[in-house]
Amino acid sequence: MEQKVVACGAGFAGDRTEPAVALAASGRVDAIGLECLAERTIVPGLRARRSDPEAGADPRLERRLRPLLPVARANGCRVISNLGAANPAAAGRKIARLAAELGCRGLRVAAVVGDDVAGLAKHIAWDDMVDGNLLGAHAYLGADALREAIVEGADVVVTGRVADSALFSAELLPILEDDGDALAGATTVGHLLECSGQVTGGNFEMPDGDSLSAADFAELGFPLATVRADGTAEIGLLDGAPGRLDRLTCTLQLLYEVHDPSAYITPDGILDFTGVVFEEVGPNRVRVSGARARGRPERLKVSGFVEQPGFIADIEIGYAGSHALNRGRLAADALRLRLDDFPDEDVRIDLVGVDSTLGAASLPPANRMPEVRVHVSARCRDAQAAQIVEDEVYALTLSGPAGGGSVRSERRPSLAVVDGFIDRDLVATETVWEQVK
Amino acid sequence: MRVGAISVGRSGDKGGTLDLSLVALDEEKYRWLEARLTEEVAQAAISRVMPGIVARYPVPGLNALKFVIEDALPGGVYATLHAGLHWQKAAIWVLLDLELD
């Protein structure tokens, strides 16, 4: 049965760059997918594009592709990525220029455009639209949008918003058997690969606290998958790459962010994972089968971003030495008194090191904590209101419990993410080609 | 018995929805967990920390339980008033650190 090898070279915008190069250099990989566009990662690109029509691609594009392109080219490994972010056509031109500089003669780049549906705003059914300026609206495209680029032999495929799994399953479209379950299997493989180290031992701990070593985390291998025409696959690591890949790591990644596991909605199909089977067939080698298709959604999900006035001010002040916990609690209580004009739902005051993450579900703190940080976040209507909250924390250095310091603060502008849907027939995609001379 | 003594877990999210997964180490442990960590028990634990209604999805074939909490993260992960971003990556410990009889 025909098969292909696809690999993951990035699972988020800031992911490490070395694993992709190692996978491409192995000579085993037909296509490497780089997932670099989380929900909100597109926002800086949308803002940059307003003043410069050639801006809007992922700012890390060059850092990621400079070491990878020549190696991928030499090993016949296609590169598929959503590094196009808010401007895939411009990203295609940028990649072609970079490839020319690197001496990749004849390299062909395909930019897939059409995910930007801001121009179709009146056709988008928003779940819960809010007031403010709609900065952008992008539909999650499926693997079919990348088919032309793959079939016509692009060396690099660059897109904006697509389903993460499509960056890996698109390569498989030409060999898949013509039944829904084969595509479901390929989409499942994409889903298993799309978070890079999360399937190979990252973000994973056994009940006894056992996990990989620091050295392994520092050099964690990213996954590759040998996928057959029927959509079944074997997930693995390169020989010698540090990591842990077994039934448990695969199951956690399979179920990651899918909501109802019997009906995981992707543009390429609604997937039923309840019959998926993982078999450990060797060290760090897991066979996956049993994903089923339950039809294809008629509408594509749309992500919209709405700029709103105001900021979240997020500030911390630290206390150390004897009685640090007591002084931190006093500081928090003093701030509660100073900020009591804020509605409860707009302010949060807690202790980093004690209960700032899990709140009332936190384990009890030790009596003698060597240090603690007081954290305040407040929703502020404007910059001046944010400044006042920041100043209230700083004021504790003079007028609060002894030894308050190590102050840190940040302000985040308010931005709402809104979900919507659009009929898939309305979303027209186009493949724009660039060729390096 | 601590839930995290017999299972591994991970937190995820989409928009304002928190998405928690637990995978028991084997089938026997899964049955133990499935019988005790009901939707109601999970709801009580979750409600101490965040808003939202818990929906539970058992996946016996994978020895797994999923818990999906809509509107647990009002406004999405960037609108949080927690310190820094992505506190919800640790939210699975609300379940892992539960003691059940």
pLDDT at residue A266 above 90?
Answer: yes
Residue A39: per-residue pLDDT: 83
For residue A188, CA distances in Å to A74, A158, A276, B18, B93 come to: 29, 21, 9, 21, 27
The predicted complex's ipTM stands at 0.98
Are A271 and A184 spatial neighbours (Cβ–Cβ below 8 Å)?
yes
Q: Confirm whether A164 is domain-assigned.
A: yes
Q: What angle do CA A174, A179, A183 make, to 5 degrees?
A: 60
Q: Residue A328 and residue A349: Cα distance in Å, rounded?
A: 11
Q: Confirm whether A130 is domain-assigned.
A: no
Instruction: Say whether both A351 and A288 belong to one domain.
Output: no
pLDDT at residue A404 above 90?
Answer: yes
Q: Residue A372 and residue A369: Cα distance in Å, rounded?
A: 7
Mutate to test the interface with A, among B25, B63, B78, B93 (most CBs of A within 10 A): B78
Instruction: Say whether both A346 and A257 belong to one domain.
Output: no
Q: Confirm whether A179 is domain-assigned.
A: yes
Q: Residue A311 and residue A181: Cα distance in Å, rounded?
A: 47
Per-residue pLDDT of chain B (101 residues; tens, 9 = 90+): 999 999 999 999 998 999 999 999 999 999 999 999 999 999 999 999 999 999 999 999 999 999 999 999 988 888 899 999 999 999 999 999 999 99
Mean pLDDT, range A393-421, rounded to an integer: 95
Instruction: Say whether both A316 and A290 belong to one domain.
Output: no
Nearest residue of B to residue A376, measured between CA atoms: B83
Q: Confirm whether A265 is domain-assigned.
A: yes
Instruction: Say whether both A248 and A288 belong to one domain.
Output: yes
Residue A27 tokens, joined: 């000579």
Q: CB–CB of A255 and B45 under 8 A?
A: no
Instruction: Say whether both A38 and A78 belong to one domain.
Output: yes
Residue B28: per-residue pLDDT: 98
- Residue whose pair of structure tokens reads 């990252």 in the numeric block: A202
Classify burial at B32, counting beta carbons within 10 Å of its beta carbon; exposed 0-12, middle 13-18, buried 19 or more: middle
Q: Confirm whether A133 is domain-assigned.
A: no
pLDDT at residue A172 above 90?
Answer: yes
Pairing relationship of beta strands A108-113 and A156-159 according to DSSP bridges: parallel
Banded model confidence at residue A30, pLDDT cuts 50, 70, 90: very high
Domain ranges of chain B: 3-74
Pairing relationship of beta strands A269-272 and A156-159 according to DSSP bridges: unpaired
Residue A184: per-residue pLDDT: 98
pLDDT at residue A281 above 90?
Answer: yes
Averaged confidence pLDDT in chain A: 96
Instruction: Say whether both A336 and A232 belong to one domain.
Output: no
Q: CB–CB of B25 and A259 under 8 A?
A: no
Banded model confidence at residue A436, pLDDT cuts 50, 70, 90: very high
Banded model confidence at residue A335, pLDDT cuts 50, 70, 90: very high
Q: Confirm whether A102 is domain-assigned.
A: yes
Beta-bridged to residue A292, according to DSSP, are A272
Rg (CA), chain A: 24
Q: CB–CB of B12 and A257 under 8 A?
A: yes
Q: CB–CB of B66 and A259 under 8 A?
A: yes
Q: What angle do CA A141, A143, A145 make, to 5 degrees?
A: 60
Count: domains in chain A: 2
- Residue whose pair of structure tokens reads 């028990």 in the numeric block: B41
Q: Confirm whether A123 is domain-assigned.
A: no
Query: Which residues of chain B approach chain A closer than 8 Å at the C-beta?
Result: 4-10, 12-15, 17, 19, 21, 23, 25, 45, 48-50, 57, 59, 61-64, 66, 68, 75-76, 78-84, 87, 89-91, 93-94, 97
The pLDDT tens digits for A341-381 are 999 999 999 999 999 999 999 999 888 899 999 999 999 99
Q: Report the length, in residues, of chain B.
A: 101
Residue A256: per-residue pLDDT: 98
Are A168 and A199 spatial neighbours (Cβ–Cβ below 8 Å)?
no
Structural domain span for residue A401: 304-418
Q: Which residues of A touch B4 (CB under 8 A)?
A: 207
Sheet of strand A292-293, all strands in order from the earlier edge strand to the far edge: A264-266, A269-272, A292-293
Instruction: Say whether both A357 and A430 belong to one domain.
Output: no
pLDDT at residue A417 above 90?
Answer: no
Residue B86: per-residue pLDDT: 94
Residue A130: per-residue pLDDT: 84
Are B23 and B9 spatial neighbours (Cβ–Cβ below 8 Å)?
yes
The pLDDT tens digits for A126-154 are 998 888 889 999 999 999 999 999 999 99
A–B CB contacts, 8 A cutoff, strictly below: 125
pTM of the full predicted structure? Answer: 0.96
| Identity of the residue in B14, B48, B79 whose CB atom sits nearest the CB atom of A360 | B48
Banded model confidence at residue A232, pLDDT cuts 50, 70, 90: very high
Instruction: Say whether both A248 and A313 belong to one domain.
Output: no
Q: Which residues of A touch B23 (CB under 8 A)?
A: 248, 251-252, 255
Banded model confidence at residue A416, pLDDT cuts 50, 70, 90: confident
Q: Confirm whether A129 is domain-assigned.
A: no
The pLDDT tens digits for B51-66 are 999 999 999 999 999 9
pLDDT at residue A206 above 90?
Answer: yes
Instruction: Say whether both A197 and A277 belong to one domain.
Output: yes
Instruction: Say whether both A218 and A361 belong to one domain.
Output: no
Instruction: Say whether both A234 and A318 belong to one domain.
Output: no
Classify burial at A58, counting beta carbons within 10 Å of its beta carbon; exposed 0-12, middle 13-18, buried 19 or more: buried
The pLDDT tens digits for A52-97 are 999 999 999 999 999 999 999 999 999 999 999 999 999 999 999 9
Q: CB–CB of B23 and A206 under 8 A?
A: no
Residue A370: which CATH number? 3.30.70.1150
Instruction: Say whether both A31 and A145 belong to one domain.
Output: yes
Residue A169: per-residue pLDDT: 98
